[in-house]
Chain A
């Protein structure tokens, strides 16, 4: 791969756009995951009684749907990222590569 291709990519404003969009999206989702998970852990560590509150008449407690919810959120977040990255970001990457190759 020639030196020039890298220089052309570097100079392409679309590359800066790709990096900016993807990094901010990825970090936002990562922060959501970290906040959700560590909130869950901190409630267990400092206020376990919160998760022991009963949902209704039966024995099911608040902790059960919250716990299952964390699992589902983790999966949904990976879905959201993959959807956007495999569509929008890959399209942008494709354009950057094409432009770098055609300007020879």
Chain B
């Protein structure tokens, strides 16, 4: 097992479903009732939000009126996908300590985002991160590149989520894969088209609260069973596994370059994910933006401690209980990714199993909605309003375009979700993070902090990073060997980010310095004003009332 498995595990429990689950599960009535309740409640919110979503600002940023605490929950919700809940607790169940290594990798990007980009982003941006990147550079080329980076990230991430969703629902609810994917697609189109960012944010908040409550209940019940002592939990787990290996790092990190490269992808990729960056425009000012990250980091960190506890609880409760073991294939039914679901059953019977299943589905819905909104904004705000119409477009038209884009993206996501059912989609999440870290992040970061950045440097250097990331993913084991069927991978490491991000930074740096054009001189001269605004928020969208 190597680092690549992280992406495999977290992006798709598909492989487990494919390999180990031949039949569908029996209908779980309590799960379906709770899920229907969730859908009705969220559609109610969408209706409420639709009445409040009148302007483009409402649609893209919920009117900028989300508080830091709410936004922190929503960001945490975007991050705590079903894949990370089931994937990380499953990984802890299988490997013990190694599961913790992943959680930490996912968390540590947040402090960096807070220290280096969060408030500058809020002060400079309006609706999308391309607003920030193109602030003093030429609109057309920068927006096209940033929108392509956004769309590529969103598309790969969305396909992975859709495939995971379809397979999870198949397992949990006994619904056909195609129906599951179509249902997710339609619900997400409804939320985003009618309710915009306001509905998307509240769906995310509700789901985050449900997920945190459900996971807390599980962890507390596990700790109750072991007398609230971690030592007892660990020793029972070691006894159940008949192995002490789960208490220490295993073979997960065999080579340091892959480890560092993955660390970079997770850390800086997070700071380049368009649906995450967009959340910073939903709060009123820099103060609330900072609070958002503080609360988000707290919730996400707490969540990872819960999944760690649940994973160890699963070892204790499931390992030797024949109810959950697969008599034919060995291991637990449905593979490691189902450990949290089985643990829910072991703790609270069918009712709690239903609750956790419904929450897992709700989680998928909320995450795909956020992604779709980010993708639609890149099309309507960047490509249509600012590039195609060159800013000469009224708000109503822009909003209409964003709604059509949402529907189009939703349909594309359904089609690709069905098309990729049997594919190994692990590399897609890898690609999404690598592109975010190698194209979106360097351009965004340098546009905010490096005076001498020019349009030419950003466009060529950023494209180079994007290209390198894609080529290295194709040459790595995930595609070159597993998909294309070659014997050995040309690129030996699991993740391209260490190299592709370096290429992007060096490329942007050299090409910007070589750029002696007249427009470059203007762009450099415009930095001081941008810097004052990024540091103080003077002139920032939405902060005028403060």
Measuring CB to CB, which residues of chain A are less than 8 angstroms from any residue of chain B? 1, 5-6, 9-10, 15, 18-19, 22, 26-27, 29-30, 33-34, 37-38, 40-42, 44-46, 48-49, 51-52, 58-61, 63-64, 67-68, 70-72, 74-75, 77-79, 81-82, 85-86, 90, 93, 96-97, 100
Q: What residues of chain A lie closer than 8 Å to B110, measured between beta carbons?
A: 74, 78
Knowing A30-B116, A82-B293, A90-B286, say if A100 contacts B538 (CB, 8 Å).
yes
A48 and B532: CB pair below 8 A?
A: no
The complex places the Cα of A71 from the Cα of B108 at a distance, in Å, of 8
User: Could you say which of B297, B308, B533 contacts A75, with CB atoms under 8 Å apart?
Assistant: B297
Knowing A46-B256, A59-B244, A63-B247, say if A22 contacts B535 (CB, 8 Å).
yes
Closest-CB distance, A15 to chain B (whole angstroms): 7
Q: What residues of chain A lie closer than 8 Å to B208, measured between beta carbons?
A: none
User: Could you say which of B108, B115, B247, B305 contacts A29, with CB atoms under 8 Å apart?
Assistant: B115
B301 and A71: CB pair below 8 A?
A: yes
**Does B420 make an interface contact (CB < 8 A)?**
no
User: Could you say which of A42, A58, A72 contacts B235, with CB atoms under 8 Å apart?
Assistant: A58
A30 and B111: CB pair below 8 A?
A: yes
Closest-CB distance, A68 to chain B (whole angstroms): 7
Measuring CB to CB, which residues of chain B are less than 8 angstroms from any residue of chain A? 97, 100-101, 103-105, 107-108, 110-112, 114-116, 119, 230-231, 234-235, 238, 244, 247-250, 252-253, 255-256, 259-260, 263, 267, 286-287, 290-291, 293-294, 297-298, 301, 304-305, 308, 528-529, 532-533, 535-539
B263 and A51: CB pair below 8 A?
A: no
B297 and A37: CB pair below 8 A?
A: no
Q: What are 17 A-B contacts defined by CB distance under 8 Å?
A: A1-B539, A30-B116, A37-B108, A48-B250, A52-B249, A59-B244, A61-B248, A64-B100, A67-B97, A74-B301, A78-B111, A78-B294, A81-B290, A82-B293, A82-B294, A86-B291, A93-B535
Closest-CB distance, A62 to chain B (whole angstroms): 9
B119 and A85: CB pair below 8 A?
A: yes
The complex places the Cα of A100 from the Cα of B255 at a distance, in Å, of 54
Q: What residues of chain A lie closer than 8 Å to B234, measured between beta carbons?
A: 58-60, 64
Considering the complex, give the chain B residue whose CB is closest to the CB of A26: B115
A97 and B248: CB pair below 8 A?
A: no
The complex places the Cα of A72 from the Cα of B291 at a distance, in Å, of 17
A-B interface pairs (CB < 8 A), number: 157
Closest-CB distance, B501 to chain A (whole angstroms): 14
Q: What residues of chain B lie closer than 8 Å to A9, measured between beta carbons?
A: 532, 536, 538
Knowing A6-B532, A78-B111, say if A59 contacts B231 (CB, 8 Å).
yes
The complex places the Cα of A86 from the Cα of B68 at a distance, in Å, of 12
State the 4 A-B residue pairs at the shortest beta-carbon distance, nearest first.
A52-B248, A1-B539, A48-B249, A26-B115
The complex places the Cα of A42 from the Cα of B256 at a distance, in Å, of 7
A15 and B536: CB pair below 8 A?
A: yes
B231 and A19: CB pair below 8 A?
A: no
Q: What residues of chain B lie closer than 8 Å to A6, measured between beta carbons?
A: 528-529, 532-533, 538
Q: What residues of chain A lie closer than 8 Å to B119, measured between beta carbons?
A: 85
Closest-CB distance, B302 to chain A (whole angstroms): 8
A71 and B103: CB pair below 8 A?
A: yes
Q: Knowing that A70-B108, A74-B110, A81-B111 touch, tell me 10 more A-B residue pairs with CB under 8 angstroms.
A: A15-B535, A29-B111, A41-B256, A59-B234, A59-B235, A67-B104, A70-B104, A78-B293, A81-B290, A93-B536
A71 and B104: CB pair below 8 A?
A: yes
Considering the complex, give the chain B residue whose CB is closest to the CB of A96: B536
Closest-CB distance, A46 to chain B (whole angstroms): 7
Closest-CB distance, B327 to chain A (whole angstroms): 30
The complex places the Cα of A9 from the Cα of B531 at a distance, in Å, of 11
User: Could you say which of B238, B291, B308 contacts A59, with CB atoms under 8 Å apart?
Assistant: B238
The complex places the Cα of A78 from the Cα of B108 at a distance, in Å, of 10
Q: What residues of chain B lie closer than 8 Å to A100, measured between beta carbons?
A: 538
A5 and B248: CB pair below 8 A?
A: no
B247 and A59: CB pair below 8 A?
A: yes
Closest-CB distance, B242 to chain A (whole angstroms): 12
Q: What residues of chain B lie closer than 8 Å to A27, measured between beta carbons?
A: 115
The complex places the Cα of A41 from the Cα of B110 at a distance, in Å, of 17
Knowing A44-B253, A82-B293, say if A93 contacts B97 (CB, 8 Å).
no
The complex places the Cα of A9 from the Cα of B252 at a distance, in Å, of 52
Knowing A9-B532, A75-B297, A82-B291, say if A51 contacts B235 (CB, 8 Å).
no
Closest-CB distance, B540 to chain A (whole angstroms): 9
The complex places the Cα of A52 from the Cα of B238 at a distance, in Å, of 13
Knowing A9-B536, A37-B108, A61-B247, say if A81 contacts B231 (CB, 8 Å).
no
Closest-CB distance, B271 to chain A (whole angstroms): 12
Knowing A58-B231, A85-B290, say if A71 contacts B107 (CB, 8 Å).
yes
Considering the complex, give the chain A residue whose CB is closest to the CB of B254: A45
Q: What residues of chain B lie closer than 8 Å to A74, measured between beta carbons?
A: 107-108, 110-111, 297, 301
Q: What residues of chain A lie closer than 8 Å to B535, measured between beta carbons?
A: 15, 18-19, 22, 93
The complex places the Cα of A25 from the Cα of B536 at a distance, in Å, of 16
B287 and A63: CB pair below 8 A?
A: no
B263 and A10: CB pair below 8 A?
A: no
User: Could you say which of A22, A41, A49, A63 contacts B253, with CB atoms under 8 Å apart?
Assistant: A41
Considering the complex, give the chain B residue whose CB is closest to the CB of A54: B247
A64 and B538: CB pair below 8 A?
A: no
B249 and A44: CB pair below 8 A?
A: yes
A51 and B536: CB pair below 8 A?
A: no
Q: What residues of chain A lie closer than 8 Å to B528, measured between beta carbons?
A: 6, 10
A64 and B230: CB pair below 8 A?
A: yes
Closest-CB distance, A50 to chain B (whole angstroms): 9
Closest-CB distance, B267 to chain A (whole angstroms): 8
Q: What residues of chain B lie closer than 8 Å to A10, measured between beta carbons?
A: 528, 532
Q: What residues of chain B lie closer than 8 Å to A67, measured between beta carbons?
A: 97, 100-101, 104
The complex places the Cα of A44 from the Cα of B102 at a distance, in Å, of 12
Knowing A42-B256, A45-B259, A85-B119, say if A33 contacts B111 (CB, 8 Å).
yes
A45 and B253: CB pair below 8 A?
A: yes
B287 and A51: CB pair below 8 A?
A: no
B112 and A33: CB pair below 8 A?
A: yes
